[in-house]
Amino acid sequence: MVKILVTGADGQLGCELRELAPALSSEAEWEFTDVGELDIVDRQMSSRFLLMHQPDILINCAAYTAVDKAESEPELAKGINAEGAANLARACRNISARMIHISTDFVFNGKQTTPYNEEDKADPLSEYGRSKLEGEQAVLKESARGVILRTSWLYSSYGSNFVKTMLRLAKEHDEINVVDDQIGSPTWAQDLAAAILQMIPRLKNEAPVIYQYANAGTASWYDFAHAVVEMSGLECRIIPIPTSAYPTPAPRPPYSKISTARIREDFDLTIPHWRDSLKTCLEQIRSQETQS
C-alpha cells in the first residue's frame, strides 16, 4: 500500500484532498500535516519528519499565497515557497520518495496571447511569482522524481478565496468594481485534488517533470465575479474596470491561461469547464452555510 503525506493540509487543496482521500483508502495510506506540526522552512525538521513518516509520495500544498503582502514580505514568501520546497525536495530524495509540488500560473509574465505550456519561459512579475518559481527550480534540482503541478485562480468551499470574497461583497454592496483585463482560468480545488488522485497510480517519471492543471474555459476576473453573483441569485451589479483603475502592490500577469494538453494526454483526464465546477462549488458553500 502506497503511503501519501500531504503538507499544507489545512489549505484549500489540502482540505479537498482530505475529503477525497477515502476514495483511495484501499490503495493508499494518507497522512495530513500543516505548519503546527511541520515547519517546512526548518531544514532539519523537514528531514527528520520525512525520515520518521517514510512516505512514498509527498504532496506539497504548503505555500505563502498572500500575493500583495509578498511585496513587503519577500523573505517570508521566499522562505516558505522556495526554501521550504527545497527542504522537502531534499528530504524526498534522501528517502527515495516522489514529490508532487503545487505551483502557479503567476510564474509567467502574461505577455503571451495564447495559453502557456510547460516549456514556455517563466518570467514572474511579482515577489510571490518569483518565490514560486524558485520553489519549482529547487524541486527540479533536488528531487530526483519531482513533479511540478502548476494551477491557476484556485478557489474552494474551504478557506478564503475570490469566490467567497465576491459572495460577501455582493451581499454588502449594490455594485462591485472588478478588473476585466486580466485573463486566466478559474480552478476548483476539488477538481485539482481529483486529478491528483487520478495521477498518483499512473506516475512513472524517473526524472523531474512539469504539468499544468486548470479548469477548461477562459475568463477575466470580471467574468468570474459576474458568474458567482449570477449563479447565486444575488442582486449586485458587477462593473468591469481596467487594471489601471485598481492598482495593487503586486503586478499581475494580464494573461495567464495555461495549457493542460500534457496532463490530459498523459493521464487521460477529462477536465470540467470552470462554469460547471463553479456551480457545484457554490452549491457546496450554500449547503455548508445551511448546516452551520
Residue 144 has pLDDT above 90, yes or no: no
Residue percentage of the chain with pLDDT more than 70: 99
**Residue 111 clears pLDDT 90, i.e. is over it:** yes
The pLDDT of residue 142 is above 80: yes
Give the three cell numbers for residue 104.
502557479
The yes-or-no answer on residue 222 being catalytic is no
Q: How far is CA 92 from the centre of its chain?
A: 21
Q: What is the pTM of this model?
A: 0.95
CB atoms within 10 A of CB 56: 17
Work out the pLDDT band at 128, boundaries 50, 70, 90: very high
Which residue ranges make up each domain of the chain?
Answer: 2-160+186-216+257-272
230-280 pLDDT tens trace? 999 999 999 999 999 999 999 999 999 999 999 999 999 999 999 999 999
Catalytic residue among 128, 211, 213, 222, which? 128
- As assigned by CATH, the class of the 2-160+186-216+257-272 domain is alpha beta
Q: pLDDT of 164-199, one tens digit each? A: 999 999 999 999 999 999 999 999 999 999 999 999
Q: Looking at 127-131, 200-204, 220-224, 251-255, which range is the least confident one?
A: 200-204
